[in-house]
Structure 1
Amino acid sequence: MEMTTLLLLCLAAFSAGFVDAIVGGGGLIQLPVSLLLLGNFPVVTVIGSLKIPAFSGTSFAAWQYLKKVQVNWKLPAVMMVVATAAAFMGSYLLTHVKNDFMKPLLLAVLSLVAIYTYSKKDFGRHILKNHSPARQMTYAVLISMIIGVYDGFIGPGTGSFLVLAFVVILGFDFLHASANAKMVNLATNFGSICLFLVKGKIIWAVALPMAASNAAGGWLGAKLAIAKGNGFIRVFFLLVVVGTLARFAYDVLFK
Protein backbone atom coordinates (compact mmCIF):
# COMPACT_ATOMS: atom_id res chain seq x y z
CA MET A 1 0.00 0.00 0.00
CA GLU A 2 1.29 3.48 -0.90
CA MET A 3 2.24 5.80 1.95
CA THR A 4 0.04 8.57 0.49
CA THR A 5 -3.00 6.30 0.69
CA LEU A 6 -2.25 5.39 4.29
CA LEU A 7 -1.75 9.04 5.25
CA LEU A 8 -5.12 9.99 3.71
CA LEU A 9 -6.79 7.14 5.58
CA CYS A 10 -5.21 8.31 8.84
CA LEU A 11 -6.36 11.90 8.21
CA ALA A 12 -9.90 10.64 7.62
CA ALA A 13 -9.67 8.57 10.81
CA PHE A 14 -8.50 11.59 12.85
CA SER A 15 -11.37 13.73 11.50
CA ALA A 16 -13.84 10.92 12.16
CA GLY A 17 -12.62 10.50 15.73
CA PHE A 18 -12.92 14.24 16.36
CA VAL A 19 -16.49 14.47 15.04
CA ASP A 20 -17.56 11.21 16.62
CA ALA A 21 -16.37 12.28 20.08
CA ILE A 22 -18.50 15.42 19.98
CA VAL A 23 -21.78 14.11 18.64
CA GLY A 24 -21.25 10.92 16.66
CA GLY A 25 -21.37 10.39 12.91
CA GLY A 26 -17.63 10.06 12.36
CA GLY A 27 -18.25 7.01 10.22
CA LEU A 28 -19.72 9.32 7.58
CA ILE A 29 -16.21 10.67 7.07
CA GLN A 30 -14.20 7.52 7.59
CA LEU A 31 -16.28 5.04 5.58
CA PRO A 32 -16.65 6.89 2.23
CA VAL A 33 -12.93 7.80 2.17
CA SER A 34 -11.93 4.23 3.01
CA LEU A 35 -14.23 2.70 0.39
CA LEU A 36 -12.72 5.04 -2.20
CA LEU A 37 -9.08 4.42 -1.27
CA LEU A 38 -9.48 0.68 -0.60
CA GLY A 39 -11.66 -0.03 -3.60
CA ASN A 40 -9.78 -3.22 -4.41
CA PHE A 41 -10.95 -4.84 -1.14
CA PRO A 42 -14.45 -6.27 -0.50
CA VAL A 43 -16.79 -3.80 1.21
CA VAL A 44 -17.31 -6.11 4.19
CA THR A 45 -13.53 -6.24 4.74
CA VAL A 46 -13.26 -2.44 4.66
CA ILE A 47 -16.12 -2.07 7.13
CA GLY A 48 -14.63 -4.76 9.36
CA SER A 49 -11.25 -3.01 9.36
CA LEU A 50 -12.82 0.34 10.27
CA LYS A 51 -14.30 -1.10 13.45
CA ILE A 52 -10.81 -1.12 14.99
CA PRO A 53 -10.21 2.66 14.68
CA ALA A 54 -13.84 3.29 15.61
CA PHE A 55 -13.37 1.31 18.83
CA SER A 56 -10.08 3.05 19.56
CA GLY A 57 -11.44 6.57 19.07
CA THR A 58 -14.60 5.87 21.04
CA SER A 59 -12.54 4.45 23.91
CA PHE A 60 -10.47 7.61 24.27
CA ALA A 61 -13.54 9.83 23.94
CA ALA A 62 -15.45 7.79 26.53
CA TRP A 63 -12.52 8.05 28.94
CA GLN A 64 -12.52 11.85 28.61
CA TYR A 65 -16.28 12.03 29.22
CA LEU A 66 -16.16 9.71 32.24
CA LYS A 67 -13.58 11.96 33.93
CA LYS A 68 -15.93 14.95 33.74
CA VAL A 69 -19.52 13.70 33.39
CA GLN A 70 -21.35 11.67 36.03
CA VAL A 71 -22.88 8.48 34.61
CA ASN A 72 -25.53 6.32 36.25
CA TRP A 73 -23.98 2.97 35.37
CA LYS A 74 -27.04 0.74 35.70
CA LEU A 75 -28.63 1.98 32.48
CA PRO A 76 -25.58 2.07 30.16
CA ALA A 77 -24.30 -1.27 31.53
CA VAL A 78 -27.49 -3.05 30.46
CA MET A 79 -27.48 -1.20 27.15
CA MET A 80 -23.88 -2.21 26.47
CA VAL A 81 -24.60 -5.91 26.98
CA VAL A 82 -27.61 -5.79 24.66
CA ALA A 83 -25.81 -3.62 22.10
CA THR A 84 -22.82 -5.98 21.92
CA ALA A 85 -25.02 -8.94 21.01
CA ALA A 86 -27.13 -6.87 18.61
CA ALA A 87 -24.09 -5.52 16.76
CA PHE A 88 -22.64 -9.03 16.46
CA MET A 89 -25.88 -10.13 14.78
CA GLY A 90 -25.92 -7.04 12.57
CA SER A 91 -22.37 -7.75 11.35
CA TYR A 92 -23.33 -11.36 10.72
CA LEU A 93 -26.19 -10.11 8.52
CA LEU A 94 -23.78 -7.82 6.67
CA THR A 95 -21.88 -10.85 5.42
CA HIS A 96 -25.09 -12.22 3.85
CA VAL A 97 -27.38 -9.30 2.92
CA LYS A 98 -27.06 -6.14 0.79
CA ASN A 99 -27.84 -2.97 2.74
CA ASP A 100 -28.83 -0.50 -0.02
CA PHE A 101 -32.51 -0.71 0.89
CA MET A 102 -31.73 1.06 4.20
CA LYS A 103 -30.75 4.37 2.56
CA PRO A 104 -34.19 5.69 1.49
CA LEU A 105 -35.51 5.04 5.00
CA LEU A 106 -32.56 6.81 6.59
CA LEU A 107 -32.98 9.73 4.21
CA ALA A 108 -36.55 10.29 5.43
CA VAL A 109 -35.64 9.89 9.10
CA LEU A 110 -32.68 12.27 8.92
CA SER A 111 -34.77 14.91 7.15
CA LEU A 112 -37.17 14.91 10.10
CA VAL A 113 -34.29 14.98 12.60
CA ALA A 114 -32.69 18.01 10.91
CA ILE A 115 -35.96 19.96 10.80
CA TYR A 116 -36.80 19.11 14.42
CA THR A 117 -33.35 19.97 15.77
CA TYR A 118 -33.19 23.29 13.93
CA SER A 119 -36.71 24.42 14.84
CA LYS A 120 -36.63 23.40 18.51
CA LYS A 121 -34.01 25.70 20.05
CA ASP A 122 -34.04 24.07 23.50
CA PHE A 123 -33.59 20.57 22.03
CA GLY A 124 -30.96 18.73 24.03
CA ARG A 125 -30.25 21.58 26.45
CA HIS A 126 -32.14 20.21 29.47
CA ILE A 127 -33.31 16.86 30.81
CA LEU A 128 -37.00 16.83 29.86
CA LYS A 129 -38.31 13.29 30.45
CA ASN A 130 -39.39 11.79 33.73
CA HIS A 131 -39.77 8.10 32.90
CA SER A 132 -40.27 5.47 35.56
CA PRO A 133 -37.16 3.27 35.97
CA ALA A 134 -38.94 0.31 34.35
CA ARG A 135 -40.07 2.32 31.31
CA GLN A 136 -36.68 3.94 30.91
CA MET A 137 -35.01 0.51 30.97
CA THR A 138 -37.47 -0.86 28.42
CA TYR A 139 -36.76 2.03 26.05
CA ALA A 140 -33.03 1.65 26.65
CA VAL A 141 -33.05 -2.05 25.72
CA LEU A 142 -35.05 -1.38 22.54
CA ILE A 143 -32.67 1.42 21.57
CA SER A 144 -29.68 -0.85 22.12
CA MET A 145 -31.17 -3.65 20.05
CA ILE A 146 -32.20 -1.52 17.07
CA ILE A 147 -29.14 0.73 16.89
CA GLY A 148 -26.82 -2.16 17.75
CA VAL A 149 -28.04 -4.17 14.75
CA TYR A 150 -27.79 -1.07 12.56
CA ASP A 151 -24.20 -0.36 13.62
CA GLY A 152 -23.14 -3.93 12.98
CA PHE A 153 -24.97 -4.00 9.66
CA ILE A 154 -24.02 -0.66 8.05
CA GLY A 155 -22.75 1.73 10.74
CA PRO A 156 -22.47 5.38 9.61
CA GLY A 157 -24.37 7.78 11.84
CA THR A 158 -24.64 5.35 14.76
CA GLY A 159 -23.19 7.78 17.29
CA SER A 160 -25.62 10.49 16.17
CA PHE A 161 -28.57 8.09 16.34
CA LEU A 162 -27.55 7.11 19.87
CA VAL A 163 -27.27 10.75 20.98
CA LEU A 164 -30.64 11.44 19.39
CA ALA A 165 -32.24 8.48 21.17
CA PHE A 166 -30.82 9.53 24.54
CA VAL A 167 -32.13 13.08 24.05
CA VAL A 168 -35.53 12.49 22.44
CA ILE A 169 -36.58 9.18 24.03
CA LEU A 170 -34.71 9.02 27.34
CA GLY A 171 -34.68 12.78 28.00
CA PHE A 172 -30.96 13.40 28.56
CA ASP A 173 -29.30 16.74 27.84
CA PHE A 174 -26.72 16.71 25.05
CA LEU A 175 -23.66 16.45 27.30
CA HIS A 176 -24.96 13.45 29.27
CA ALA A 177 -26.42 11.94 26.09
CA SER A 178 -23.01 12.13 24.42
CA ALA A 179 -21.29 10.54 27.42
CA ASN A 180 -23.74 7.64 27.62
CA ALA A 181 -23.84 7.21 23.85
CA LYS A 182 -20.06 6.73 23.82
CA MET A 183 -20.36 3.77 26.19
CA VAL A 184 -23.05 2.08 24.09
CA ASN A 185 -21.18 2.83 20.85
CA LEU A 186 -18.11 1.24 22.39
CA ALA A 187 -20.15 -1.92 22.92
CA THR A 188 -21.53 -1.98 19.37
CA ASN A 189 -18.02 -1.65 17.98
CA PHE A 190 -16.82 -4.48 20.22
CA GLY A 191 -19.64 -6.76 19.11
CA SER A 192 -18.83 -6.15 15.45
CA ILE A 193 -15.11 -6.66 16.01
CA CYS A 194 -15.80 -10.07 17.55
CA LEU A 195 -17.66 -11.16 14.41
CA PHE A 196 -15.12 -9.73 11.97
CA LEU A 197 -12.26 -11.36 13.89
CA VAL A 198 -13.95 -14.73 13.59
CA LYS A 199 -14.54 -14.14 9.85
CA GLY A 200 -10.99 -12.82 9.25
CA LYS A 201 -12.28 -9.55 7.73
CA ILE A 202 -9.77 -7.06 9.22
CA ILE A 203 -6.82 -5.52 7.34
CA TRP A 204 -4.48 -4.94 10.26
CA ALA A 205 -1.92 -2.90 8.27
CA VAL A 206 -4.66 -0.32 7.73
CA ALA A 207 -6.66 -0.74 10.93
CA LEU A 208 -3.84 -0.09 13.44
CA PRO A 209 -2.49 3.24 12.06
CA MET A 210 -6.06 4.46 11.60
CA ALA A 211 -6.83 3.41 15.18
CA ALA A 212 -4.04 5.65 16.53
CA SER A 213 -5.28 8.57 14.41
CA ASN A 214 -8.91 8.06 15.40
CA ALA A 215 -7.94 7.93 19.07
CA ALA A 216 -6.11 11.26 18.80
CA GLY A 217 -9.15 12.84 17.16
CA GLY A 218 -11.46 11.36 19.76
CA TRP A 219 -9.36 12.70 22.62
CA LEU A 220 -9.36 16.24 21.18
CA GLY A 221 -13.05 16.20 20.26
CA ALA A 222 -14.16 15.02 23.69
CA LYS A 223 -12.14 17.72 25.46
CA LEU A 224 -13.73 20.41 23.27
CA ALA A 225 -17.26 19.06 23.80
CA ILE A 226 -16.83 18.96 27.57
CA ALA A 227 -15.34 22.47 27.65
CA LYS A 228 -17.96 24.06 25.38
CA GLY A 229 -21.07 22.28 26.71
CA ASN A 230 -24.57 21.68 25.38
CA GLY A 231 -24.88 24.66 23.02
CA PHE A 232 -21.72 23.73 21.14
CA ILE A 233 -22.76 20.07 20.92
CA ARG A 234 -26.21 21.02 19.60
CA VAL A 235 -24.72 23.05 16.73
CA PHE A 236 -22.28 20.28 15.91
CA PHE A 237 -25.10 17.72 16.06
CA LEU A 238 -27.12 19.70 13.52
CA LEU A 239 -24.13 19.99 11.18
CA VAL A 240 -23.48 16.26 11.34
CA VAL A 241 -27.15 15.41 10.76
CA VAL A 242 -27.25 17.70 7.71
CA GLY A 243 -24.03 16.13 6.43
CA THR A 244 -25.45 12.67 6.95
CA LEU A 245 -28.63 13.72 5.16
CA ALA A 246 -26.67 15.05 2.19
CA ARG A 247 -24.65 11.85 1.99
CA PHE A 248 -27.69 9.55 1.98
CA ALA A 249 -29.56 11.85 -0.42
CA TYR A 250 -26.67 11.56 -2.87
CA ASP A 251 -26.64 7.77 -2.56
CA VAL A 252 -30.41 7.48 -3.02
CA LEU A 253 -30.83 9.99 -5.87
CA PHE A 254 -27.65 9.59 -7.90
CA LYS A 255 -26.53 5.99 -7.45
Structure 2
Amino acid sequence: MPLEQVLMLLVAAAGAGWVDAVVGGGGLLQLPALMMAGVAPVEAMATNKFSSVFGTASAAVTYTRTTKVDRPVALPAAGLAVLSAALGASAAAAISAEVLRPLVMVILLGVAAFVTLRPAMGAVARPQLRTRARVTVAVLTAGVAIAFYDGIMGPGTGTFLIIAFTALLGLDFVSASASAKIINTGTNIGALLFFGWHGHVLWVLGLGMAACNIAGAQAGARMAIRRGTGFVRIVLLCVVAAMVSRLAWQQFG
Protein backbone atom coordinates (compact mmCIF):
# COMPACT_ATOMS: atom_id res chain seq x y z
CA MET A 1 0.00 0.00 0.00
CA PRO A 2 1.45 3.45 -0.94
CA LEU A 3 2.74 5.62 1.89
CA GLU A 4 0.20 8.40 1.23
CA GLN A 5 -2.67 5.95 1.67
CA VAL A 6 -1.21 4.67 4.93
CA LEU A 7 -0.88 8.25 6.21
CA MET A 8 -4.50 8.95 5.19
CA LEU A 9 -5.64 5.90 7.17
CA LEU A 10 -3.66 6.96 10.23
CA VAL A 11 -5.23 10.43 10.16
CA ALA A 12 -8.69 8.89 9.68
CA ALA A 13 -8.06 6.59 12.65
CA ALA A 14 -7.15 9.55 14.89
CA GLY A 15 -10.28 11.42 13.83
CA ALA A 16 -12.40 8.32 14.33
CA GLY A 17 -11.00 7.86 17.83
CA TRP A 18 -11.95 11.44 18.73
CA VAL A 19 -15.52 11.08 17.41
CA ASP A 20 -15.97 7.66 19.03
CA ALA A 21 -14.81 8.96 22.41
CA VAL A 22 -17.29 11.84 22.39
CA VAL A 23 -20.47 10.32 20.91
CA GLY A 24 -19.61 7.25 18.82
CA GLY A 25 -19.71 7.01 15.04
CA GLY A 26 -15.99 6.84 14.31
CA GLY A 27 -16.63 4.11 11.76
CA LEU A 28 -18.06 6.88 9.60
CA LEU A 29 -14.44 7.97 9.05
CA GLN A 30 -12.47 4.73 9.28
CA LEU A 31 -14.57 2.41 7.13
CA PRO A 32 -14.79 4.66 4.04
CA ALA A 33 -11.08 5.46 4.39
CA LEU A 34 -10.16 1.78 4.43
CA MET A 35 -12.34 1.04 1.40
CA MET A 36 -10.97 4.05 -0.49
CA ALA A 37 -7.50 2.57 0.11
CA GLY A 38 -8.62 -0.59 -1.69
CA VAL A 39 -9.27 -2.81 1.35
CA ALA A 40 -12.03 -5.37 0.76
CA PRO A 41 -15.29 -4.67 2.70
CA VAL A 42 -14.99 -7.59 5.15
CA GLU A 43 -11.32 -6.86 5.85
CA ALA A 44 -12.19 -3.16 6.24
CA MET A 45 -14.86 -3.98 8.85
CA ALA A 46 -12.48 -6.34 10.66
CA THR A 47 -9.54 -3.91 10.71
CA ASN A 48 -11.87 -1.10 11.79
CA LYS A 49 -12.96 -3.20 14.79
CA PHE A 50 -9.37 -4.04 15.67
CA SER A 51 -8.35 -0.38 15.62
CA SER A 52 -11.49 0.81 17.40
CA VAL A 53 -11.31 -1.61 20.32
CA PHE A 54 -8.07 0.01 21.53
CA GLY A 55 -9.35 3.57 21.23
CA THR A 56 -12.70 2.79 22.83
CA ALA A 57 -11.09 0.91 25.72
CA SER A 58 -8.64 3.77 26.36
CA ALA A 59 -11.52 6.30 26.32
CA ALA A 60 -13.45 4.09 28.75
CA VAL A 61 -10.49 4.12 31.18
CA THR A 62 -10.21 7.92 30.95
CA TYR A 63 -13.92 8.40 31.56
CA THR A 64 -14.03 6.06 34.57
CA ARG A 65 -11.29 8.05 36.31
CA THR A 66 -13.28 11.30 36.35
CA THR A 67 -16.91 10.57 35.42
CA LYS A 68 -19.63 8.55 37.09
CA VAL A 69 -20.20 5.35 35.11
CA ASP A 70 -23.41 3.32 35.54
CA ARG A 71 -21.61 0.07 36.40
CA PRO A 72 -24.78 -1.94 37.31
CA VAL A 73 -25.86 -1.47 33.69
CA ALA A 74 -22.58 -1.07 31.81
CA LEU A 75 -20.77 -4.18 33.12
CA PRO A 76 -23.48 -6.83 32.55
CA ALA A 77 -24.41 -5.20 29.23
CA ALA A 78 -20.74 -5.29 28.14
CA GLY A 79 -20.58 -9.01 28.94
CA LEU A 80 -23.69 -9.68 26.86
CA ALA A 81 -22.35 -7.41 24.12
CA VAL A 82 -19.32 -9.61 23.46
CA LEU A 83 -21.55 -12.55 22.54
CA SER A 84 -24.23 -10.49 20.78
CA ALA A 85 -21.74 -8.62 18.58
CA ALA A 86 -20.00 -11.88 17.64
CA LEU A 87 -23.36 -13.33 16.62
CA GLY A 88 -24.11 -10.16 14.67
CA ALA A 89 -20.78 -10.38 12.84
CA SER A 90 -21.48 -14.01 11.95
CA ALA A 91 -24.90 -13.02 10.58
CA ALA A 92 -23.57 -10.05 8.59
CA ALA A 93 -23.17 -12.05 5.40
CA ALA A 94 -26.77 -13.30 5.56
CA ILE A 95 -28.42 -9.90 6.14
CA SER A 96 -28.30 -7.36 3.32
CA ALA A 97 -27.02 -3.89 4.20
CA GLU A 98 -29.43 -2.57 1.56
CA VAL A 99 -32.28 -3.65 3.84
CA LEU A 100 -30.74 -2.26 7.02
CA ARG A 101 -29.66 1.17 5.74
CA PRO A 102 -33.16 2.70 5.33
CA LEU A 103 -34.16 1.45 8.78
CA VAL A 104 -31.04 2.88 10.39
CA MET A 105 -31.58 6.22 8.60
CA VAL A 106 -35.14 6.43 9.96
CA ILE A 107 -33.93 5.63 13.49
CA LEU A 108 -31.14 8.21 13.28
CA LEU A 109 -33.56 10.88 12.04
CA GLY A 110 -35.79 10.01 14.98
CA VAL A 111 -32.82 10.40 17.32
CA ALA A 112 -32.01 13.82 15.83
CA ALA A 113 -35.63 14.97 16.19
CA PHE A 114 -35.81 13.62 19.75
CA VAL A 115 -32.65 15.41 20.88
CA THR A 116 -33.54 18.64 19.04
CA LEU A 117 -37.12 18.87 20.34
CA ARG A 118 -36.08 18.03 23.90
CA PRO A 119 -33.18 20.42 24.61
CA ALA A 120 -33.23 19.57 28.32
CA MET A 121 -32.60 15.88 27.60
CA GLY A 122 -29.15 14.85 28.78
CA ALA A 123 -28.36 18.31 30.13
CA VAL A 124 -28.65 17.10 33.73
CA ALA A 125 -29.13 13.70 35.32
CA ARG A 126 -32.72 12.60 36.09
CA PRO A 127 -32.30 9.79 38.65
CA GLN A 128 -36.06 9.71 39.27
CA LEU A 129 -36.46 7.83 35.98
CA ARG A 130 -34.40 4.89 37.21
CA THR A 131 -36.40 1.80 38.17
CA ARG A 132 -35.49 -1.89 38.29
CA ALA A 133 -37.55 -2.51 35.15
CA ARG A 134 -35.81 0.30 33.27
CA VAL A 135 -32.39 -1.00 34.32
CA THR A 136 -33.29 -4.44 32.93
CA VAL A 137 -34.54 -2.94 29.67
CA ALA A 138 -31.38 -0.83 29.38
CA VAL A 139 -29.10 -3.86 29.88
CA LEU A 140 -30.96 -5.90 27.26
CA THR A 141 -31.25 -3.03 24.80
CA ALA A 142 -27.55 -2.15 25.03
CA GLY A 143 -26.06 -5.60 25.53
CA VAL A 144 -28.22 -7.55 23.09
CA ALA A 145 -30.06 -5.42 20.51
CA ILE A 146 -27.55 -2.60 19.94
CA ALA A 147 -24.55 -4.94 20.28
CA PHE A 148 -26.03 -7.33 17.68
CA TYR A 149 -26.53 -4.39 15.32
CA ASP A 150 -22.90 -3.33 15.86
CA GLY A 151 -21.73 -6.76 14.77
CA ILE A 152 -23.84 -6.65 11.60
CA MET A 153 -23.35 -3.06 10.49
CA GLY A 154 -21.97 -0.68 13.14
CA PRO A 155 -22.55 3.01 12.26
CA GLY A 156 -24.30 4.81 15.09
CA THR A 157 -23.72 2.22 17.80
CA GLY A 158 -22.22 4.66 20.29
CA THR A 159 -24.95 7.18 19.54
CA PHE A 160 -27.69 4.61 20.07
CA LEU A 161 -26.13 3.61 23.39
CA ILE A 162 -25.98 7.22 24.60
CA ILE A 163 -29.63 7.85 23.67
CA ALA A 164 -30.72 4.59 25.33
CA PHE A 165 -29.00 5.49 28.60
CA THR A 166 -30.28 9.06 28.54
CA ALA A 167 -33.88 8.17 27.70
CA LEU A 168 -34.21 5.03 29.82
CA LEU A 169 -32.09 5.85 32.87
CA GLY A 170 -32.00 9.65 32.88
CA LEU A 171 -28.21 9.91 32.65
CA ASP A 172 -26.65 13.15 31.47
CA PHE A 173 -24.83 13.00 28.13
CA VAL A 174 -21.31 12.80 29.59
CA SER A 175 -22.18 9.95 31.99
CA ALA A 176 -24.11 8.21 29.20
CA SER A 177 -21.10 8.51 26.89
CA ALA A 178 -18.80 7.13 29.60
CA SER A 179 -21.07 4.12 30.17
CA ALA A 180 -21.45 3.60 26.42
CA LYS A 181 -17.67 3.27 25.99
CA ILE A 182 -17.58 0.21 28.26
CA ILE A 183 -20.29 -1.53 26.26
CA ASN A 184 -18.83 -0.43 22.93
CA THR A 185 -15.55 -2.02 23.99
CA GLY A 186 -17.47 -5.26 24.48
CA THR A 187 -19.13 -5.03 21.06
CA ASN A 188 -15.78 -4.39 19.37
CA ILE A 189 -14.20 -7.37 21.16
CA GLY A 190 -17.09 -9.65 20.18
CA ALA A 191 -17.01 -8.70 16.50
CA LEU A 192 -13.20 -8.83 16.48
CA LEU A 193 -13.19 -12.38 17.86
CA PHE A 194 -15.28 -13.50 14.90
CA PHE A 195 -13.34 -11.55 12.28
CA GLY A 196 -9.96 -12.50 13.74
CA TRP A 197 -10.84 -16.20 13.90
CA HIS A 198 -11.73 -16.11 10.20
CA GLY A 199 -8.53 -14.29 9.22
CA HIS A 200 -10.05 -11.01 8.05
CA VAL A 201 -7.95 -8.58 10.14
CA LEU A 202 -5.01 -6.71 8.58
CA TRP A 203 -2.92 -6.87 11.73
CA VAL A 204 0.07 -4.67 10.86
CA LEU A 205 -2.05 -1.86 9.40
CA GLY A 206 -4.51 -2.28 12.26
CA LEU A 207 -1.78 -1.79 14.88
CA GLY A 208 -0.73 1.53 13.36
CA MET A 209 -4.32 2.68 13.14
CA ALA A 210 -4.93 1.52 16.72
CA ALA A 211 -2.14 3.77 18.02
CA CYS A 212 -3.67 6.78 16.25
CA ASN A 213 -7.15 5.79 17.39
CA ILE A 214 -5.96 5.79 21.01
CA ALA A 215 -4.48 9.28 20.58
CA GLY A 216 -7.71 10.60 19.12
CA ALA A 217 -9.82 8.86 21.76
CA GLN A 218 -7.81 10.37 24.60
CA ALA A 219 -8.22 13.85 23.14
CA GLY A 220 -11.96 13.33 22.60
CA ALA A 221 -12.67 11.90 26.05
CA ARG A 222 -10.78 14.69 27.81
CA MET A 223 -12.53 17.35 25.74
CA ALA A 224 -15.98 15.86 26.44
CA ILE A 225 -15.26 15.74 30.19
CA ARG A 226 -13.91 19.31 30.19
CA ARG A 227 -16.65 20.89 28.05
CA GLY A 228 -19.64 18.97 29.42
CA THR A 229 -23.05 17.88 28.22
CA GLY A 230 -23.75 20.84 25.91
CA PHE A 231 -20.66 20.05 23.86
CA VAL A 232 -21.56 16.33 23.66
CA ARG A 233 -25.09 17.21 22.52
CA ILE A 234 -23.82 19.41 19.67
CA VAL A 235 -21.30 16.80 18.50
CA LEU A 236 -24.00 14.09 18.70
CA LEU A 237 -26.32 16.06 16.40
CA CYS A 238 -23.46 16.74 13.95
CA VAL A 239 -22.46 13.08 13.86
CA VAL A 240 -26.08 11.95 13.37
CA ALA A 241 -26.44 14.36 10.42
CA ALA A 242 -23.19 13.07 8.92
CA MET A 243 -24.24 9.43 9.36
CA VAL A 244 -27.64 10.00 7.76
CA SER A 245 -25.98 11.76 4.81
CA ARG A 246 -23.45 8.96 4.42
CA LEU A 247 -26.07 6.20 4.58
CA ALA A 248 -28.33 8.07 2.13
CA TRP A 249 -25.43 8.42 -0.31
CA GLN A 250 -24.67 4.69 -0.03
CA GLN A 251 -28.35 3.80 -0.54
CA PHE A 252 -29.30 6.20 -3.31
CA GLY A 253 -26.05 7.61 -4.69
What is the TM-score normalised by the length of structure 1?
0.94
Aligned to 1:158: 157
Quote the offset at 1:144 in angstroms.
1.7
Contact 2:134 2:169 in 1 (8 A): no
Q: 3-state SS of the aligned residue for 2:129?
A: coil
SS state at 2:170 partner: coil
Contact 2:130 2:168 in 1 (8 A): no
- CA offset digits 1:15-56 (Å, max 9, x no partner): 000011011111111111111112xx4311110111111001
Report the CA distance between 1:253 and its aligned residue: 2.3
User: 1:211 and 2:215 equivalent?
Assistant: no
Identity, % of aligned positions: 35
Check conservation: 2:142, 2:183, Cα contact below 8 A: no
- 5+ long unaligned stretches in structure 2: none
Gaps in structure 1 of 5+ consecutive residues: none
Whether the 8 Å CA contact 1:31–1:156 is kept in 2: the answer is no
Are 1:86 and 1:148, in contact at CA under 8 Å, matched by a contact in 2? Answer: yes
Instruction: Assess if the C-alpha contact under 8 Å between 1:44 and 1:94 holds in 2.
Output: no
- Equivalent in the alignment of 1:109: 107
User: How large is the Cα RMSD of the aligned pairs?
Assistant: 1.4
Residue 18 of structure 2 is matched in structure 1 by 18
What do the CA deviations read for 1:122-154 (whole angstroms, capped 9, x no partner)? 121122352322431233213321111111111
Q: Is the 8 A contact 1:175 1:230 kept in 2?
A: yes
CA contact (8 A) 1:78 1:141 kept: no
Does the CA contact (< 8 Å) of 1:44 and 1:95 recur in 2? no
Aligned: 1:28 with 2:28: yes
- Report the Cα distance in structure 2 between the residues aligned to 1:183 and 1:130, rounded to whole angstroms: 22
Q: Which amino acid aligns with 1:17?
A: G
Aligned-residue offset at 1:252:
2.2
SS in 1 for 2:97: coil
Cα distance change, pair 189–232 in 1 and its aligned pair in 2 (3 A): same
Instruction: Find out whether 1:91 has 2:57 as its counterpart.
Output: no
Matched, 1:180 2:179: yes
Conserved? CA contact 2:122–2:172, under 8 Å: yes
Distance 2:108 2:166 in 1: 15
For the 8 Å contact 2:80–2:144, the answer to whether it is kept is yes
Could you tell me whether the CA contact under 8 Å between 1:23 and 1:159 is conserved in 2? yes
Runs of 4+ in 1 over 6 A off after TM superposition: none
Flag the 1:125–1:27 CA change in 2: closer, same or farther, 3 A: same
Residues 1-255 of structure 1: pairs in structure 2 closer than 5 A: 1-38=1-38, 41-128=39-126, 130-254=129-253
The SS at the match of 1:176 is helix
Q: CA deviation at 1:231?
A: 0.8
Q: Which amino acid aligns with 2:82?
A: T
SS in 1 for 2:245: helix
- Structure 1 residues 157 and 72 mapped into 2: Cα distance closer, same or farther (>3 Å)? closer
Letter in 2 for 1:5: Q
Q: 1:72-130, CA deviations, whole angstroms, 9 ceiling, x for partnerless residues?
A: 42221110111111000001112444322111111111112112212221121122352
Tell me, yes or no, if the aligned pair for 1:28 and 1:156 is still in contact at 8 Å: yes
In 2, the alpha carbon distance for the partners of 1:79 and 1:94 equals: 21
For 1:235 and 1:99, how far apart are their aligned partners in 2?
Answer: 28
What secondary structure sits across from 1:70 in the alignment? coil
2:98 counterpart SS class: coil
Question: For this pair of structures, how many residues does the alignment match?
Answer: 252
- In the alignment, the residues of structure 2 paired with residue 176 and residue 37 of structure 1 have an alpha-carbon distance, to the nearest angstrom, of 36
Residue type at the aligned position of 1:106:
V
